[in-house]
Amino acid sequence: MVRLKLVLVLFILCFASTSTGKEKEGIGEQFTEELLLRPLPDRKVLAHFHFDTRAPPTASYGRHHRIFPKAIYQLRSFLGVNQNAQSAMCKNMFQASSQEQSLTASYAESKLRVQLNCTDTPLGQTSIFPFGSLAITVLNTNLALLDQVHKFQVREMELSFTQGRWNYERWGGYDPIASSNVKPPGVELWAVFDVPQDQVDASWKKLTHTLSGLFCASVNYLESSTAYSAPDWSFREFSGNLRYGTLPREAVCTENLTPWLKLLPCRDKAGLSGLMNRSSIYRGFYHSQRLHLTSGEFNSEAVNYGIMLELTLTVVLEPNTLEAGVTRSSGLALQPSWSLRSLFGREVGERCVLAKSSNVYVQLEGSLVLVLKNKWEENSAYGADTLSYEEGSLSNPSFELSVCPNRIIKEVNSLHPEGPSILYHYMMENYSDSKPFELEFKWKSPLVWSCPLAPLHASRFLMGSGNERGAIAISLQATKRSDDFLVADIDEKGCRLRVDVFQVVPWYVKVYYHTLKLFVDEKPVSQADIIEKMRVSPSEDKVSPGVMELILRLPCGVKSAAITLEFDKGFLHIDEYPPDANQGFDIPSAVVSFPDFQATMHFLEDNSSNESPLERSSVLSYTEVLLVPLTTPDFSMPYNVITITCTVFALYFGSLLNALRKRVAEEERRLKSKAAKKSGRVPLLLSKLLTKVRGRPWEPPQAASTSSSQISYKLIFKVILVAGIAAVRRGKAAEAAQERTCYNTSTLAFSSYI
């Protein structure tokens, strides 16, 4: 009977899976991979990998995924979106077994017992365990998976591991890569939870431990309330159950990249991820790997998808080429030529078969395109019409591409004054292991250009000296091109530029927020004239860090602005100091954003512009990580005290024992010599002759007993003598004292008689 019920359950589940499979034909899982290569003005190359994985909503697709990583799916918010599907399956199961509310399957040999309960229990992934000729269908076997989903309920999350600092002045700050994918040094994590307010902190702590184990990093250190904060409105456009934390000193290594690559369907065995050679990536000037998880119910742009996972890797590399130092007659050094092999040490071979699309782009920024246009116009053989790129890039006098692109895409509606940028598009479907994709970019003439910059360049530094007090200063400097594209709000006070500032300070840095001072063009100004909105959360010792959020309205023609805050340096308990406390303590990077500016890129011939990673993002910058020296105790003092104490004791007792041992040995040697002299030579000669006649080894006579007895007699005699002398002296002293007492008594009596 039980086996019949199992067969019915298996038939129902197979029928349900086929029906849901028909529903999934419209929207299925998708995986795309892209690589963007961009030459930089300072003779380096930017490589930006972008991997996008999307899964349909759970209600229509189920929880079994073919491409989407299951480890990341556990972090997704479980909002009961599949309750209808669960109830339908339970009804089918109840119809198969109307007399029992639970189905039980048992297998004697393996002693496996699985209970399937449909009452108030969400159905999980279906698993089939074959045992010989018997296949048991088990529901809800992965209860731990559902428990994790219920615990975290993450609606949106971003985790980044960064080594190095992005150079906003040389590599740009007004493009989607610099605004969305550039991160501060170390680890940065922020997440939005769909739980009640009183459960956010508990979900955050569980999430940090899970990510720590998943990526082999110290993310679990963010569980402490002193390591994370709750921004209100300055960090993200939305407000809610948001938590933000950073670890500026966290080191990034291959042990963090390996689990990151395991989230890809093809790992690093095929596709564009095969270029990720560890030695090539980590020798770069900047390296940042990022994971962004978004729920489709939370993001209006992805309403057709249940969950989206973006994996990006941004690397700044210096090409290995022999032509890097070649100088032309103009006095300018030729840009180094590069290829995929010179950058990564590999080529693109077999494409990932699970990828819906696999593309490589070579981007020329608008300023570089403008320089190329002027260069071409100066050459009589190349006119301005060459900008149509009808023949590709194989015939221009400034650079040469070894492979002709499939398409050449031009940016439209560009906000940069230099002009639109250009994309050379390569499709990886045409390449394989037998025909690898080997791209080479060769410069022919030296060029000078610059990257688009943010409206204001943000930096941060410390002021003051000593181990007691100091000040934090945030400086905003107008860029050389800010006047060309400055677009800001105009109110009753005139043209204004909005700047949002978000800063987190550890609790041991006691910031005095009432000392906030503002300077515009090196002149002090009133806070009411510049600050539109301000939120301050003072730090609490060993409980929470200090948080400051500002909305500034600066004049459009501002050249410089500065914010200063004074602070005191606190004292830590000896157990709270890190192992390298003498190096100093880190203050995380401040976040400076410009909500009025959007870094957008739209391309005329790009049919998939809605899914492009270069589509839209707010202009955002991270400041430097500050290193604050605090008063640090001498951790070697206990060791030094123990060492010198043990040394003194060793010298004292060693010398004492050595002196005592030498004295006893000397006395014994003298006693032996005296005993030998007293015994005479004749008895010694006779004893030697007798021992030789008997064939035995001769042994000198032992005088230990006599010497010891003599020593004991002498010692007793000395003790008795000393005791006798002491007794005699004591008796004489008593008689003298008695005589003095009698004399004093007689004297007093005689004086009283007189």
Q: Whole-prediction pTM value?
A: 0.74
591 and 468 fall within a common domain = yes
Phi/psi at 599 (5° precision): -85, 100
309 and 245 fall within a common domain = yes
Closest CA to 340 of 429, 402, 270: 402
Q: Looking at the 3D structure of the chain, how many domains does it have? A: 6
Higher-scoring residue by pLDDT: 93, 573: 573
The pLDDT tens digits of the residues spanning 31-87 come to: 999 999 999 999 999 999 999 998 887 655 556 667 878 777 766 644 333 333 334
Boundaries of domain holding 520: 456-603+615-628
441 and 390 fall within a common domain = yes
In angstroms, rounded to a whole number, what is the distance separating the alpha carbons of residues 549 and 534?
Answer: 6
Q: Residue 750: inside a domain, yes or no?
A: no
Q: Residue 43: inside a domain, yes or no?
A: no
366 and 471 fall within a common domain = no
70 and 100 fall within a common domain = no
Section 97-102 average pLDDT: 37
Q: List residues bridging with 592 in a β-sheet.
A: 501, 621
pLDDT score recorded for residue 736 = 65
Q: State the residue for tokens 């246009």.
A: 373
Q: Residue 148: inside a domain, yes or no?
A: no
Q: Residue 716: inside a domain, yes or no?
A: yes
Listed in sequence order, the residues at least 6 apart from 533 whose beta carbon sits closer than 8 Å to its beta carbon are 233, 549, 550, 551
Residue 508 — pLDDT band, cuts 50, 70, 90? very high
Listed in sequence order, the residues at least 6 apart from 90 whose beta carbon sits closer than 8 Å to its beta carbon are 118, 123
Q: Residue 666: inside a domain, yes or no?
A: yes
Mean pLDDT, the chain, as a whole number?
76
623 and 723 fall within a common domain = no
Q: Residue 620: inside a domain, yes or no?
A: yes
Residue 291 has pLDDT above 90, yes or no: yes
Closest CA to 588 of 269, 311, 185: 185
Q: Residue 751: inside a domain, yes or no?
A: no
425 and 330 fall within a common domain = yes
Q: State the residue for tokens 């943010």.
A: 454
Residue 4 has pLDDT above 70, yes or no: no
Of 107, 140, 173, the residue at which a domain comes to its end is 140
674 and 736 fall within a common domain = no
Section 252-258 average pLDDT: 91
508 and 445 fall within a common domain = no
Q: Residue 224: inside a domain, yes or no?
A: yes
527 and 570 fall within a common domain = yes
Closest CA to 615 of 50, 14, 42, 37: 50
CATH number of the domain enclosing 487 = 2.60.40.740
335 and 191 fall within a common domain = no
308 and 375 fall within a common domain = no
The pLDDT tens digits of the residues spanning 680-716 come to: 566 667 677 777 766 667 666 554 444 444 545 566 6
The pLDDT tens digits of the residues spanning 426-440 come to: 999 889 888 899 999
The pLDDT tens digits of the residues spanning 326-382 come to: 555 556 788 899 999 999 988 998 889 999 999 999 999 988 988 888 887 776 554
